[in-house]
Structure 1
Amino acid sequence: MEIRTLAHLPLSVLVDCFVQSFEGYSVKVSNSVEYYAARWKAAMVRLDCSYGMFDGELLVGFVLHAIDTRQGVRMAFNDGTGVLPAYRGRRIVQALYAQAIPALKAMGIALLSLEVIQQNEVALKAYTRVGFRIVKEYFCFKGVLLARPDAAMRLEATTFHRMEWNTLPAQAWQAWEHQPESLEGGNFQYYYVWRKEERVGYFVVQPEYNYVAQVDCMHHSPVHWNALLMGVSQIANPVKVNNVDSRQPEKIHYLRRHGLQAYIHQYEMQMPL
C-alpha cells in the first residue's frame, strides 16, 4: 500500500470512500458530492495537504486537513478521517499522520487539531498514539424547539459582513467549522434577535439542513433565551446545534430547557508541532 496526497483525486471517489468508512456509524452521513464540496470549501480543506492510503488505485483510508490561521496560530484541522471497514486494524491513521506531520510542519503549521466522538474508543486511542491530547469537550444537541410565544420578539436578518463578530459571546470557544473564518465561505443565514428595543441574541443557520452553526444570548436570562430560541424556531425547526463548549453551562441549560437533547458528546484534541 502507498500513501499519497489527495490533490488529484476526483471528489466523487473521496466522498465514496468517506461514506463507506462511516457505514454503521452512530451518526448518519450524507452521500451528496455537492454537500461535501460546499462544506469542505467553507472549512478551507486543502486536498494537497490531505493524505490517503491507497491499495493499488483504491483509496482505503484518508485524513482531510483544513489549513488556516486561527487566533494567530497557523493550524491544520482534521476535517475528516476514515478507513474502509476491510482495512481497519492496520494502524492506517497513524501511518497517514507519520507522513503528514513532517510536511505540515515544513509549511509552517504550528498546531494540529481534530474532533472525535467520546464513545469512539478506537479513534481516541489512535489519535493518542499519534500525540494528540484532549483540550475541549463539546455537546451536540437536536430536537424540536419549544419556545413560548413572545409578541415582543422580532428578527433582524443581516449578513456575514454586518455581523459584529468582535462583540459576540464565546467566539474563541467555537469549533473550527463554526468560526467566522469558516462561516464566511458557507451558505448560511444570519439573524439578530430583538426583544422590545434590546438586541438579546443572534444565530447563524442553514435552513435547508435545519442546522444552527452559532446561537447565543448577549446576557443570559430565561426571557432572553426564550425570545432567541423562538426566533430560531421561526427559521428552522426541528434543529441541530452541534459542538456547544462544555464551558457554557448556561447555554446548555437553556437549550435543554427548550426541548433539545444531547445526542453526541465530542472531544477536541490538539497536538503542537
Structure 2
Amino acid sequence: MKIKTVAQCTLDEVLKAWNKGFEGYFIEINMTAEMFLQRLVGEGLSPEHSIVVFDQEEPIAIVMNGFRTIDGKKTAWNGGTGISPAYRGKGVSRLLMEETLAIYQRENVELGTLEAIKENQVAIALYEKYGYVIANQLLFLSGEYEAKVTPTAALRMATIRPEQLAHLSFYRENVPWQCSWQSVKQGEARVFYKDNNEPLGYMLYKTLWNECGEVERILLYQMAVLEESNVELITQFLASITTDKVHLMTVNFLASNPATSYLLKHGLKVTTEQVQMTKQL
C-alpha cells in the first residue's frame, strides 16, 4: 500500500476513495465532484495535508484534514475518515491514524479535533486508542417551529457578517468546526442587545427561501444566550427572522447548550447524535 496527498491525486481518485470509504456507513455521504470541491473550500480543508491510501492503483481510504487557530491554539480537524468496505478491519485505519498524527506533528498542531457518530463505537474506540477523548455530546435537531411573539423594542438587533463575530468580545470561538464562522461565510449573523447596549446573545445561521419569497427553512449553526436566565429570549431571536411557521434544523449543537434544551422543549426532535473528540498534541 502507498499513501499520496489529495493534492497528488486526480479528482476522480479522491472521489472514489471518499465515496467507497463511506459506503455502508451510519450516514452515507456520497459526493459529486462539485459537492466535494465546495466542501473542500467551504470548510477550509487542505489538499496538501489530506491523504489517500492506494492498493496498487486502487484508492481505498481517505482522511481529510484542515487547520485553524482557535482560542490561540493551532487546531486540526479530521473532516472525514473513510475506508473501502473490502479493506475494513485489515489495519488500514492504523495506517491512516499514524500518518495523520505525523502530519499534525510536522505542522505543530496543538489540538486535534473530530466528530464521530455516537453509535459508531468501533471508530470511537480507534480514536481513543490514539489518545482522543470525548469532549462534548453534539446533536442535530429538526422540526417545525413558530415564534409566537411580537418583537419588542426593548431588544435591539444588529445584523452583521459572519466574520465580524470573531471581533465581538463576548463571542465564544471554541465551537465544532462546521459551526464556526469560517465554515459559514455564506450565512448570516445577528447579535442582540438590551436597549442599554448590554449584549444578550447571538446566532449564526442560513435561511432557505421558497419560490414565493418566504423563509422555508433555517439552518442554525450557533445560538448563544450569554446568560442562561435569558434563554426564553430565543423566541425573540428567531422571531427576528420570521414569525411564520418554519422548519428549523441545528448543526452540531452542544447537548449542554441552553438553546438545545429550549428547542427540544419547543418541539424539535433529535435526528443525529455525535461525539466531539479532542487530542492534546
Q: Same fold (TM over 0.5)?
A: yes
**1:208-229, Cα deviation, whole Å (9 max, x unpaired):** 4842211223444364121123
Is residue 146–residue 245 contact of structure 2 (8 Å, CA) maintained in 1? no
What is the match of residue 260 of structure 1? Answer: 268
Shift of 1:127: 1.3
Q: 1:6·1:52 contact (CA, 8 Å) conserved in 2?
A: yes
Separation in 1, partners of 2:105, 2:78: 15
Decide whether aligned partners of structure 1 residues 146 and 182 sit closer, same or farther in structure 2, where only a CA change above 3 A counts: same
What is the distance in 1 between the residues matched to 2:245 and 2:5?
38
Segments of 5+ residues of structure 1 without an aligned counterpart are none
Counting only pairs closer than 5 Å after superposition, residues 80-229 of structure 1 correspond to structure 2 as: 80-152=80-152, 156-163=158-165, 165-168=167-170, 171-183=172-184, 186-192=185-191, 200-208=200-208, 210-220=218-228, 221=230, 223-229=232-238
Shift of the alpha carbon at 1:58?
2.0
Identity %: 21
- The structure-2 alpha-carbon separation of the partners of 1:12 and 1:211, relative to structure 1 and needing over 3 Å to count, comes to farther
RMSD of aligned Cα (Å):
2.9
The amino acid that maps onto 1:2 is K
**3-state SS, counterpart of residue 8 of structure 2:** coil
2-structure distance, mates of 1:150, 1:26: 41
What is the deviation of 1:271? Answer: 2.0
Letter in 2 for 1:21: G
Look up the SS of the partner of 2:168 in the other structure.
helix
Question: 1:158 touches 1:190 (CA, 8 Å); kept in 2?
Answer: yes
- CA deviations 1:7-65 (Å, max 9, x no partner) are 12234542343233333433353524333323332322111111111122221111111
Higher helix share: 1
Mark the runs of 5 or more structure 2 residues left unpaired by the alignment.
209-216
SS at match of 1:25: coil
CA change 1:91–1:238 in 2 (3 A) is: farther
CA deviation vs aligned residue, 1:47-100 (integer Å, no higher than 9, x gap): 111111112222111111101222121222101111112221113121112123
**Which whole-Å deviations, capped at 9, do the CAs of 1:196-217 have from their partners, x for residues lacking one?**
8877543222334842211223
Aligned with 2:240: secondary structure?
Answer: helix
Deviations 1:154-180 (A, max 9, x none): 8653213444643445x1441122223
